[in-house]
Every structure is written in C-alpha cells, then in structure tokens.
Structure 1
Amino acid sequence: MQRYSQKYNGTKNIVLTVVLLLLLGVLFNSCESGPDTKTLFFAHSLPITHPVHKGILDMQKFLEEKSGGKLQIKIFPDGQLGTEREVLELLQIGSIALTKVSAASMSNFAPEYQVTSIPYLFRDSEHLFSVLEGEVGKQLLASGTEYLLRGLCFYDAGSRSFYAKDKAVNSPDDLNGMKIRVMNDQMSVEMVNTLGASATPMAYGELYTALQQNVVDGAENNIPSFVTSNHYEVCKYYTFDEHTMVPDVVVVSTKFWNLLSETEKEWLQEAADESVERQRVYWQETIKENMEVLKKAQVEFVYPDKSRFSDKSRPVLQRMMKDPKMKEVIEKILEN
C-alpha cells in the first residue's frame, strides 16, 4: 500500500479510500459473506445512470438467480475504488473480483487489445459485434489470462468522436494546435497525434475541471459518456467522426476465478453473457435520450466527411500491420 500513500499523501478522502481498499482486501480474501455465499466485489468508473452500469445490474441479478444466491455481486461504481488502471491492478493482486474497463485500458496489460483502438478498423456496429462474438473476440478475452485478468464478455461502448469547447472540428486540419484529452494508452495517443492534435492523457475524473480551466481544448468519447460526465456543459461542439469503436470489457481476476468450482464458473460466465444483449438495448435507448438532452443544451452537431479522418489516420493501421501477431488478428477482422 506504499504506492497509494505516496500518491495520495495529504488528502483525507483518499486516505479513507485506502483504508477501504485494505478492508475490501480482507473481505475478499475470506470470499464469504455467509456459510454458503460468496460475494464478488465489482468496481468501475462510470456513474449509475450510464447504460453500462445498467448492464452490470442485470449481470448481478442473473448471477444471483442462477446461483440461488450462492454467488452475489456488490457493485462500487463511479470510480469509488480508483481509476480503470488502478482497479485492474487491484484485480491482479486479488483485492477485488470484477471490473468493467475500456478495451483500451486492457491494452496496457494485454497488448492484443490494441486492435480495438485502431481507427476505422470496424465498418459499423454489426461488424464490431460479429468480430467480438467470434474467434477474435474469444482470443482477446483469453489474452489477459497470463496477466491475471480474464475477460468475460464485451459491452457496447458505441463509437468515439471528438468534442471541443471553442470551435467545431470539421476536418483533421481543425485539430491542429488543439490539446485533446485521451485515455492513457498508446493507441489513443498515437491516433490523436497522427490526426494533428496534441494528445493529452488524463484520468477521466479530472477532465471536467481540465476543460473548465483550459488545460485541454477538447476530448473524444461516446455520446453517453459525454452526457453523464456533464462535459456538454463546457463543450458545445460534437463531431460525429466516429474514429474508433472501442468496446468495454467485463474482467474477472484469475485469482478469484481459480477459487470457483466449475459450476460457479459456469454461473458467472452465463450471467455475463446474458447481460450483453440487455446492455446493448440500454445503450441504444440512452443514445436517443442523450441526443435530446444535447439538443436542448444547444450543442452543435457536426457530421464531417469521415474519409478525411480515415485517410489521415491510416499510418496507425500500417504501423500495427508490421507486427506479425497483430497483422494476423487485423486480417481476421478485415475478412469478417
């Protein structure tokens, strides 16, 4: 825990969080909240209004039903237990059982996930889902196992696009000189820099203030995150360039997974799988609701020529194709 005390020294709230994490570690290691019950701690960074959180609630319900209450999920949303990277590290040491992170965050631990962040690799959502439900999806979910992070399923996270404070982004040329917040992963940084902006990695929870204080000029994300974060209060331009379709991943700690019986593993996997379709419905419903919110807030929507963004970002794909392992995965995706 020395890492946490150094990082958050002097902040009372964070000290309390560290204490909570220690307590959670103790509770998790015992694994039981009753003689026949195991409780899985599930931490993620999204608010409870987000469609991904709603999918997790279904997973929670399905697991309790399948197990007859023997396996239960306790959810810690809204970044209560840390950033995506910090929570993944907690899974690796076995302090918590489950999380939901962006596939981009997983790429910092399991490199094969980088393919999901290649701009314009997926033609549309149908192509994306077909890939994720097939051989490539299974390969990606399994790729984190050697890093103690087993993927259970993918959730829909829509397409990511640029949004900005002071001007509309109609083409890559408009990104020149702009500081754009990105997730802390190599592919996101490379993509934004290739398109002409200055990529600025930053924790999601810090972004609202950074936008207010002109630390960054804009960011890139999907519509539900743009709304639930209230970033639309600061940024009045949203460009539907849809440069990436990075899914979310539900991940279980292998330290916990290996403690489960074969029957318990089946319950958990089935609950995750069955929550996927429900989560996709929540996503589409939320998109419709959010678009109305943005219209009322007078956010300007920009529908650019996406080919200009695709053409300029091509070097990212070309670089990835130089890696034989990545080339094999990319070719499977393109052939799908």
Structure 2
Amino acid sequence: MKRFKIILICSLLAFLVSCSQLQAANSGQTLLRLAHNQNSEHPIHKSLTEFSTLVEEKTGGNVKVVIYPNGQLGTEREIIELTQTGAVDIAKVSAGALENFEGTYSLFNLPYLFDDKEHYYQSMESSVAEEIYGLTDEIGFIGLTYYDSGVRNVYTRQTPVMTPEDMRGLKIRVQPSGTAIRMIELMGGAPTPMDYGEVYTSLQQGVIDGTENNETALTSGKHGEVAKEYSYTEHSIVPDILIISSTKWGRLAPEEQDAVKEAAEESTQLHKKLWAQETESAIEEAKKMGVNFSYPEKEPFKEAVMPLHKQFENNPETGEFYRKIREEADGS
C-alpha cells in the first residue's frame, strides 16, 4: 500500500514537474514547488502565501513559489524524503518529523526547553537555530525559517490534569517521537504514538483518554467535540520548520538566495500575528463546544521531566545546543 502511494505521488510530481518546466521555459522563471499538510484556511497556508508573494516581489518575478497544501504531495515524512531528492523544492514540516532525519531536531521536542514565548522567539531567531538548520545540508536539505505552532498542553475526555498523579493510567496520544513518548512516561501517563488523523476517532471511541496539542486542534481537528478538559501544562513549544532542497538552493543565484531567505523570515513575523489571532478564536469557539480550561501548577511537571533534560545536556549531539538555549533563559 505504501509503495503504491509513493508511486502515485511520484507520478503526480512527474506531471507537475513537466507542467512547471514548460511554464518556466515560457516565462523565464525559476519555479519552486512548496508542499505542506494544512488546509488553505490555516494560518500556516496564509503565511506561506505571503512568503510566495514576497519571493516573487524580491526577485523581480525571476523566482515563483507554487504551493501544494492539504498533504497533496504526501505525509510530512514523505515530503521530507521528496525534498531530499529534489522532487519537492520546499516543505513546511514539524520539527518533530525532522527528528527522524537529524537527531538534533529532537531538542525541540524536549518539554520545558523554553521558559516562555519570549525565550522561544529569541532562541528560534538566534545563531543557534541557524546552526541547526545547516546540519542537514549533506543529506539533502537546509532550514530557512520557523513558524509558531503554539504551546502544547494536555487535554482529556473527562478528567482535568492538575498534577502528574492525575496522568496515572491515562492513555495519552503522542507524536511518533521517542522524546514525546518518554515525556509522557515521566509525566505519569501511558504514551500512545498515533498519527494525527486517528486522534478524533480514538478519543471518541475511548481508545485513548487524551492527547497533547495546542488549542487550535480543539476546533480545526474538532477534538473539542470529544475531549472536554483542556489543561495548561504548557509542556512544549515545537516549531514548524520551512526546509528547502540543498540541490535547488545551490542552483539559485546568491541574490536569489538572499531574497528567499528574507521572504521566509518576514513571513515568520506575519505568522506570529496570524497564529495569535487563530489561537484566541479557537479558545472562544472551544468554550462554546463545552470545553473547560484548567490551569495546573507547572512546577511538578517540570520536575518530573528533568531526567530528559539531563539526557539532552549529556548527549554529544544535542548538549552544546541545549546549553546555549538554556543560557539565554538564565541570562548567562
């Protein structure tokens, strides 16, 4: 089944490439194919549309970005692999998905890595992030910028989570990430790795007791229909990352590279505003769905996951980056 899907995606890409090449030949443009898995109403799509507009403006029409939303070109893992080969030029993916390609990205899944949103923004717009973006150049892609995807919290069908003890025995869906699995174990729950598309039905049928995500999942994913207790554990802030094929990047002229990088960073700033508006709207809509919002003390949860912090600090792959990010928070 997976092989058939890959063949289907490749066939679609071959058709798109041939059309793009014909269009590019006629217009003299360089076309960049950008894939992501959100719908056209999502803030990320609006931000990527702004990115596309800015790229065309900044290059005088020499470079054009064509966007394929809704997972048209595959899952996050598939579009990362396609970006490695150059079949897809640019992709917006979760840092969690990138963990399977470059271990350093697992750092962004570390709970309570960032003290707050200010620390998060400061770190993601620093030289530390730029260093991480470049680590995957040799395997076929580099990072361009990040997009805010909210603060992740625990929410459950019926029981609010106010302490780690409240997590005991609860089956909590997590992303398929070793870091996320260990996090829920340390917080007291029973982690259940699962694709996002399966969460609603699993909550509805009681296969899982809860999950963890930002507030927009309550509305865009309709999770608020089947999960009525949202607890602000605020355990992680996992960014989305915009990546570009190393091959395609190398083919752009230096001034085109500068334009693409500038457009990416400017779209990130727009996205901050769009995301804040979307989050506020989601909370209000979720309340109308009957979702209750609770505010537990976070310190017990932070203490529970400290073994993960020690693990990342002592890991040769992540230790240096971990220390730099934490030093920013501590003012060192």
With structure 2 as the length reference, what TM-score do the two structures score? Answer: 0.92
Letter in 2 for 1:252: I
Match of 1:236 among 228, 231, 241: 228
The separation in 2 between residues aligned to 1:185 and 1:24, in whole angstroms, is 32
Which string of whole-angstrom CA distances, capped at 9 and with x for unpartnered residues, describes residues 240-282 of structure 1?
1010011111111112212212122122111101111101011
**Could you list the runs of 5+ residues in structure 1 that have no partner in the other structure?**
9-13
Structure 2 residue aligned with 1:222: 214
Identity over aligned residues, as a percent?
A: 36
* Other structure's SS at 1:305 match: coil
Query: What is the correspondence of 1:316-335 to structure 2 with a 5 Å cutoff?
Result: 316-335=308-327
Letter in 2 for 1:286: E
Letter in 2 for 1:221: N
Query: What's the C-alpha RMSD, in Å, of the aligned pairs?
Result: 2.1
Change (3 A) 1:255 1:151: same
The separation in 1 between residues aligned to 2:122 and 2:101, in whole angstroms, is 24
Structure 2 residue aligned with 1:49: 41
Which string of whole-angstrom CA distances, capped at 9 and with x for unpartnered residues, describes residues 124-179 of structure 1?
11111111111211111112212212100011122111111132212222222222
Match of 1:212 among 198, 201, 204: 204
Measure how far apart 1:33 and its partner are. 5.9
Which string of whole-angstrom CA distances, capped at 9 and with x for unpartnered residues, describes residues 6-65 of structure 1?
xx5xxxxx9865532343455567793634112211111122222222211110111111
Change (3 A) 1:186 1:241: same
**Worse-matched range after superposition: 207-216 or 136-145:** 207-216
**Could you list the runs of 5+ residues in structure 2 that have no partner in the other structure?**
none
Q: Is 1:180–1:219's contact at 8 Å kept on the other side of the alignment?
A: yes
Q: Is 1:131–1:137's contact at 8 Å kept on the other side of the alignment?
A: yes
Change (3 A) 1:33 1:332: same
Match of 1:190 among 182, 185, 204: 182
The separation in 1 between residues aligned to 2:125 and 2:152, in whole angstroms, is 21
Measure how far apart 1:214 and its partner are. 2.6
Please tell me whether residue 115 in structure 1 is matched to residue 114 in structure 2: no
* Other structure's SS at 1:161 match: strand
The separation in 1 between residues aligned to 2:120 and 2:238, in whole angstroms, is 9
Structure 2 residue aligned with 1:11: none
Measure how far apart 1:71 and its partner are. 1.4
* Other structure's SS at 1:87 match: helix
Structure 2 residue aligned with 1:159: 151
Please tell me whether residue 245 in structure 1 is matched to residue 245 in structure 2: no
Q: Is 1:232–1:294's contact at 8 Å kept on the other side of the alignment?
A: yes
The separation in 1 between residues aligned to 2:79 and 2:92, in whole angstroms, is 9
Q: Which runs of 4+ in 1 moved over 4 A?
A: 14-18, 25-31
* Other structure's SS at 2:169 match: coil
Letter in 2 for 1:332: K
Q: Is 1:43–1:100's contact at 8 Å kept on the other side of the alignment?
A: yes
The separation in 2 between residues aligned to 1:226 and 1:137, in whole angstroms, is 30
The separation in 2 between residues aligned to 1:45 and 1:209, in whole angstroms, is 19
Q: Is 2:218–2:286's contact at 8 Å kept on the other side of the alignment?
A: no
Structure 2 residue aligned with 1:279: 271
The separation in 1 between residues aligned to 2:200 and 2:93, in whole angstroms, is 20
Letter in 1 for 2:217: S
Structure 1 residue aligned with 2:3: 4
Please tell me whether residue 176 in structure 1 is matched to residue 176 in structure 2: no
The separation in 2 between residues aligned to 1:268 and 1:281, in whole angstroms, is 21
Letter in 2 for 1:4: R
The separation in 1 between residues aligned to 2:28 and 2:77, in whole angstroms, is 32
Structure 2 residue aligned with 1:104: 96
The separation in 1 between residues aligned to 2:110 and 2:37, in whole angstroms, is 23
Change (3 A) 1:232 1:118: same
Change (3 A) 1:331 1:17: closer
The separation in 2 between residues aligned to 1:30 and 1:106, in whole angstroms, is 32
Match of 2:257 among 254, 262, 265: 265
Measure how far apart 1:3 and its partner are. 5.1
* Other structure's SS at 1:61 match: helix
With structure 1 as the length reference, what TM-score do the two structures score? Answer: 0.91
Query: What is the correspondence of 1:61-72 to structure 2 with a 5 Å cutoff?
Result: 61-72=53-64
